[in-house]
Amino acid sequence: MSTPAIRILGVDPGLSATGWGVIEVAGSRLSYRACGSISTGTEMALARRLAFIHRELTDLIAEHAPDEGAVEETFINRDPRSALKLGQARGVALAALALAGLNVAEYAANLVKKTVVGVGHAEKAQVGMMVKMLLPTSRAQSADAADALAVAICHAQHRQARIRGAA
């Protein structure tokens, strides 16, 4: 009996650019479905930027019908103002996925890198290269989109352990 495919939406939150990536996983097989980046202009008011991210994620969820979501956790930033804005964008991403009824997992950036590259402090270029190796048909045009695919891959690898732990 074959394992049913699970569609995962990975999100790399950011106020200027929120990366997103959709993959399917059936057993240990990963398949690329779509990816991109949601960009907001600095000329927009903060509330409008956050609303735009929410609206775009909601539309992506409707279009791609993921079964589960995964969001990268915020890392500590030296600039409190930037950290707060990143946290707000992350909150909007979490809310959009949760309001759509998805189970949402969160992963630290180092765990995402370690899962995908094998090293917790990998560079963005290394992450992008490994995403391309794991998902040869992927078309990530930005580091944000590649990072979001990496978050989805991380979730695919760790979700079985989460399921076993919940049982």
**Of the listed 24, 59, 68, 144, which one is catalytic?**
144
**Minimum mean pLDDT range among 13-27, 74-88, 95-109:** 74-88
pLDDT at 143: 94
Residue 1 lies in a domain: no
Residue 157 lies in a domain: yes
Give the residue carrying structure tokens 């079985």: 160
Q: Give the tens place of pLDDT for each residue, 9-62.
A: 999 999 999 999 999 999 889 999 999 999 998 899 999 999 999 999 999 999
Where residue 13 sits, what CATH number does that domain have? 3.30.420.10
Residue 19 lies in a domain: yes
Whether 147 is a known active-site residue: answer no
Residue 50 lies in a domain: yes
**For residue 72, what are the domain limits?**
6-166
Number of domains in the chain: 1
Confidence (pTM): 0.93
Cα(49)–Cα(55) distance, integer angstroms: 10
pLDDT band at 78 (very low <50, low <70, confident <90, very high): confident
Q: Is residue 163 over pLDDT 80? A: no
Whether 12 is a known active-site residue: answer yes
Question: Which residue would you say has higher pLDDT here, 81 or 76?
Answer: 81
Residue 55 lies in a domain: yes
Q: Measuring CA to CA, which residue among 41, 63, 32, 39 is closest to residue 53?
A: 39
Q: Is residue 2 over pLDDT 80? A: no
